[in-house]
């Protein structure tokens, strides 16, 4: 699954238009084995863009009935910075219960995990994973995949922002000299122990360098980070 995720994210990275992201989110849905995945963003100018796997008739109904006003998922994510498990949101109101019943009738699963994203100049987005599963199964899924899903959400948002009119993509974060050394040796096939020995540092310190580089590169794991560093010309092997 890990290599499959890397390939899908590479597809997102090389997308040249918003439509290119639809096939990626469908592939991600299949890779994670869930019913639906949805990415929806609102630019600073109020422009909206979305890609996802909900049925078209449900999307149209959602817009027609202006469910945005009462959707507990949207409200919960606008009020919080942390990922929101749908089970922990407030569905107690009459309007919210009717909305949930309507959503389920249109193929939306009872379980959901939504990640709020706040971009520059007031941009707001949501990345949602939706499924039909019992509580225990869903809890285990969220615990196992939550970290990857958060990274994927920000990955999608970073690419979507490139399509915002008049906006230039942000410059890539530079790697420190030590991070470059560590990533270069890993790219050359050195083991972590060999890298730490070559740099005269502990393996614990090396882990800190690798994790820092991974986060700067927006990579899923060390292998992905090395590949992205090479493709961006940050390291030369």
pLDDT tens column, 96-152: 999 999 999 999 999 999 999 877 666 788 999 999 999 999 999 999 998 888 888
One domain for residues 66 and 110: yes
Q: Which of 106, 136, 162 is the last residue before a domain boundary? A: 162
Distance CA 83, CA 155 (A): 15
**Which residue in 229, 228, 237 sits closest to 13, CA to CA?**
228
Closest Cα to residue 186, out of 169, 168, 203?
203
Residue 6: inside a domain, yes or no? yes
Return the CA Rg of the chain. 20
Confidence (pLDDT) at 124 = 83
pLDDT band, very low/low/confident/very high, at 168 (cuts 50, 70, 90): low
What one-character DSSP code corresponds to residue 93? S
Q: For the residues 9-36, what does the mean pLDDT come to?
A: 85
Shared domain check, 213 and 149: no
pLDDT at 172 over 70: no
CA dihedral 53, 54, 59, 61 (to 10 degrees): 160
Domain span at residue 67 reads 2-162
Model's pTM, two decimal places? 0.68
CATH code of 51's domain:
3.30.450.80
């Amino acid at each position: 699954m890990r290599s499959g995720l890397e390939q899908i994210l590479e597809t997102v990275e090389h997308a040249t238009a918003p439509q290119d992201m639809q096939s990626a989110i469908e592939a991600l849905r299949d890779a994670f084995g869930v019913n639906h995945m949805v990415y929806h963003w609102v630019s600073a100018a109020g422009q909206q863009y979305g890609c996802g796997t909900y049925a078209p008739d449900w999307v149209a109904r959602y817009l027609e009935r202006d469910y945005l006003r009462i959707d507990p998922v949207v409200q919960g994510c606008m009020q919080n910075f942390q990922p929101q498990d749908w089970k922990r949101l407030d569905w107690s109101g009459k309007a919210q219960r009717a909305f949930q019943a309507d959503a389920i009738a249109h193929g939306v699963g009872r379980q959901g995990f939504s990640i709020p994203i706040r971009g520059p100049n007031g941009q707001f987005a949501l990345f949602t994973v939706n499924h039909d599963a019992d509580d225990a199964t869903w809890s285990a899924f969220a615990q196992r995949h939550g970290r990857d899903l958060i990274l994927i959400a920000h990955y999608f948002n970073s690419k979507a922002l490139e399509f915002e009119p008049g906006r230039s993509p942000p410059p890539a974060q530079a790697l420190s000299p030590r991070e470059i050394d560590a990533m270069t040796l890993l790219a050359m096939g050195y083991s972590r122990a060999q890298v730490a020995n070559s740099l005269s540092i502990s393996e614990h310190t090396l882990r800190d360098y690798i994790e820092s580089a991974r986060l700067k590169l927006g990579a899923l794991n060390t292998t992905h980070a090395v590949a992205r560093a090479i493709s961006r010309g940050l390291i030369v092997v």
